[in-house]
Amino acid sequence: MSVPGDEAAGHAAWLAARRAELAGPDSWLGVVGLHWLDEGTSVLGSGAGCTVVLPRGPEVLGELDCSGGQVVWRARGEAPRGLASDRDGEPDVVTAGSLALLVIEREGRLALRVRDRAWATGRVFRPPPCYPFDPAWRLAARWEALPQPRDMELPDVSGELRPVRVAFEAVFEQGGQTLRLLPVRVREDGVFFVFRDRSSGRETYGAGRFLMAPAADGGVLMLDFNRAYNPPCAFTPFATCPLPPAENWLPAAVPAGEMKPAAGQAPFPS
């Protein structure tokens, strides 16, 4: 059984890792473009006539051929090669100076994500503030099966709807209330939630926050809201974050976890 000192130390380690991730070269703050790809050939480069205009680099960097969900990269002067998207794991990456280009798939559509790995050069990064660790927001939730699975269409910030089948819910007590959260994703390595609460848009990011929990053990799911964190869309407009379903709009404030990004870090008001 963990004790308060262990919990606080674990939270400090989580927070340090989270801030290192945000400050690193592959941070969401470095995502500078998202280009949806049509069937056929897209020309990539910094030239104004390119299908996908990059922020820097040669006038024409190469071509992407998309056909039936498959992508082939043809760089000038190099042999063509297939690119794996992020559908089944880590995607292949094409580099051009400090730019990293990768293909993502969302609900059957392909897009090219552009990341500037030198985004922090000449920039002062201030991590999002975080509420002080509060063990009262480490909660043992009941992992209860729904009477029958529910099929939902979950909206995301790009306007798309993602089909999600939900078979369980987390039920917990806090502040004299019985609260419930529906998972967005359930895997062997854990359960993923997207939620809003009464702090959203005030002290925390307006579109909601993400929360990962370890897989349920014996019908119990540990929810540590101290580790609630901002979604990628809090840091870049080129994200495809899911939004919380109405069922996950909690009627009380959750004063735990990450707060709004520091002023000047978010690309638009939160």
Q: pLDDT tens-digit profile of 116-170?
A: 999 999 888 899 999 999 999 999 999 999 999 999 999 998 888 889 999 999 9
The DSSP 8-state label assigned to residue 227 in this structure reads: G
Q: What is the pLDDT of residue 115?
A: 97
Between 264 and 69, name the one with better pLDDT. Answer: 69
pLDDT band at 58 (very low <50, low <70, confident <90, very high): very high
H-helix or E-strand spanning residue 93: strand 93-96
Q: What is the pLDDT of residue 269?
A: 37
83, pLDDT greater than 50: yes
Helix (H, G, I), strand (E, B) or coil at 226: helix
Provide the residue type at 132 as one letter: P
The two structure tokens encoding residue 15: 């927070």
Q: What is the pLDDT of residue 4?
A: 60
262, pLDDT greater than 80: no
67, pLDDT greater than 70: yes
Interval 74-102 mean pLDDT = 92
Q: How far is residue 94's CA from residue 144's CA, in Å, rounded to a whole number?
A: 44
- Look at the pTM and tell me if it is higher than 0.85: yes
The two structure tokens encoding residue 185: 């994703």
Interval 20-41 mean pLDDT = 95
Collect all residues with Cβ–Cβ distance below 8 Å to 154 and sequence separation of at least 6: 161, 162, 163, 164, 184, 194, 242, 243, 245
Q: How far is residue 37's CA from residue 45's CA, in Å, rounded to a whole number?
A: 15
Q: What is the pLDDT of residue 267?
A: 47
264, pLDDT greater than 70: no
Where do the domains of the chain lie, and which CATH numbers do they carry? Answer: 28-116 (2.60.200), 127-248 (no CATH)
Cα torsion angle, 9, 11, 16, 17, sign: positive
Q: What percent of the chain has pLDDT over 90?
A: 83
Q: What is the pLDDT of residue 124?
A: 85
